[in-house]
Amino acid sequence: MTFEGRQETVRALRPGDPLMLRREPDNPHDPHAVKVVTASGTQIGYLSARIASRLAPSIDTGIRYAAAVTQITGGGDRSFGVNIHVHRHDAPLDEPDPGQALRLSWSGLAADALVERVTVHLHRGRPFREPQRAAIQALLGGRPLRAVFGPGRGRRPVMEVTAAAWVVAGRGPVVIAVPLQSLVDRWYERLAPRAREIGVRCARAHGALRFRQRQHLLQGLQNGAVDLLLASIEFLKSIGTDGEAAPVQAWLRPSLLLAECEPTIEDNALDDVARVLGRPLRGDFQGSAAPAEDALRLAAAEIITDPFPRINLRLVDRRGAQDREAMLLDARRQGKALLYTGQRAAAIDLASRLREQNPGQVAYYHGGLPLRVREVLEQQFADGKIQALVAADDLLEVIGSAGLDGRQATVTLLYRREDLPRVAAALAERHPDREMLAAIYRIVRAEVERAGMAAWPDDRPDAALQREGIAPRAIGIGLDILAEAGVIQREYDGDRWRITLSGQERRDLLTSLRYAEGHREAEAFQEMSRWAFGPLTDILKAVAGPGIH
């Protein structure tokens, strides 16, 4: 791409920019030629002959393809190049909206009546206490809010009901900002199916979305097909920094921004995000009281707290116990019990073992199950038809929800420090740390120095990486991060990635959205570990409410 002014055209492109494919059947060099042009019609080059030979027959029969920029390569002493993603238009982007009729029928309701109906659909009509109702009323009344609701006190249900009621009332799109990528996925799995039943269309945004998913998100925003966006704070921060999320800036203009601030989202980060999003009405939700000076950062904010003390909650400290299996079986025999595990696979395994040793009413529960299955399990557990429910969810929320009905509740802490390495290894596989990324880079560099380029998947570098103890999944994610940070350059040839070095070894890894999210996940894990193995009084204070000593 070094002629006809294409270098300047390519230099101006950004990841996510749409491209068009044009057949050139009369091309004298290749009858399968497919040229690539920008949205304005400027040619930037051709598809490789290998890929064009696969697509040209389909294009000639009328099948439509679209493309978008994924990465700009080169720079410095090297010519600019561009990697693109090509996808087929198999169906219209917008799927049928089963809740549209219900949403239209509710659009003229008064705020209280609307909240009541939304609560029935999203949270099975469970009543809110006065502080939760006041928070919803403040936001729907157009007043900025800082709400302090401890674990289990309905922080997320309040945010969900407020967001859905706002959308149904026709007041515009909503963004819910959360600290962690993993929270985005868990929240989306729980909320999106229920919200769709009332015509509220949800989407999620974070650094682990594949390129096609990002394009689908961008097209949804452009078409007005996203009512409620659940996004990681790092994704939202990158919108204003020319990062991977920058293409959504022109289309993401919410009228309401709700922030789940636990684990911590820094106030200045939220201020910057609100500015980039056009300063929508804002509601910040957190689990513990903020210093008075922090509260002043949200100008004219109404501050609402939930003072409900949990004097009926009893914590039993069995951390480090070696007879954990026997204690779990004993808890199962004593009556209805909610057993928490940190991972979904562990929940499935524990439920299976409990059924083997004591057949009966045992089930597992996590956000990846279909909505209807989760609803049946919730109802059967509430009715006593399931005596032991093994759940994988947020630890602090699970502990904090105990005893909210006013009855005596006992929470037994049965985890051990020996559990931490397994959890840390699973986290590192999803979010490679700096040391793992350095190992991946060293092996890629050695392969480039040996052969002029590295390929992946490929037996030679794969074997070297696995000798370093790096799991295959972490290798792919690590290469994604190195490419996002500009340390390596990649081109996909239809079978595997061809990798070269960018010549810029010293790059800030935090410029990679995926790495920034992983860094935040690792910090949250370390903080949770300190809290979980800290003094029992600190845990009790966090979940039982103010005034408990």
pLDDT digits (tens, 9 = 90+) for 273-323: 999 999 999 999 988 754 443 444 555 789 998 876 767 778 889 998 888
Looking at residue 66, its pLDDT comes to: 78
Per-residue pLDDT band for 93 (boundaries 50, 70, 90) equals very low
Domain 100-305 has CATH 3.50.50.60: no
Instruction: Using DSSP, state whether 157 is helix, strand or coil.
Output: helix
Fold equal for 100-305 and 423-524: no
CATH class of the domain defined by 423-524: mainly alpha
In this predicted structure, the answer to whether residue 113 has a pLDDT above a threshold of 90 is yes
Determine the CATH number of domain 313-415: 3.40.50.300
Q: Are the CB atoms for 168 and 105 separated by under 8 Å?
A: no
Q: What is the torsional sign of CA 529, 533, 535, 536? A: positive
The fraction of the chain above a pLDDT of 90, given in percent, is 34
Determine the CATH number of domain 6-88: 3.30.70.2330
Q: Which residues are bridge partners to 542 per DSSP?
A: none
Q: Are strands 145-148 and 281-286 parallel, antiparallel or unpaired?
A: parallel
Domain definitions of the chain by residue range: 6-88, 100-305, 313-415, 423-524
With tokens 């802490």, the residue in question is 413
In this predicted structure, the answer to whether residue 548 has a pLDDT above a threshold of 50 is no
Q: Are the CB atoms for 194 and 371 separated by under 8 Å?
A: yes
Per-residue pLDDT band for 331 (boundaries 50, 70, 90) equals low
Two tokens at 417? 């420090």
Looking at residue 188, its pLDDT comes to: 93
Query: CA-based angle 279:253:296, to the nearest 5?
Result: 20
Between 548 and 442, residue with greater pLDDT:
442
In this predicted structure, the answer to whether residue 328 has a pLDDT above a threshold of 80 is no
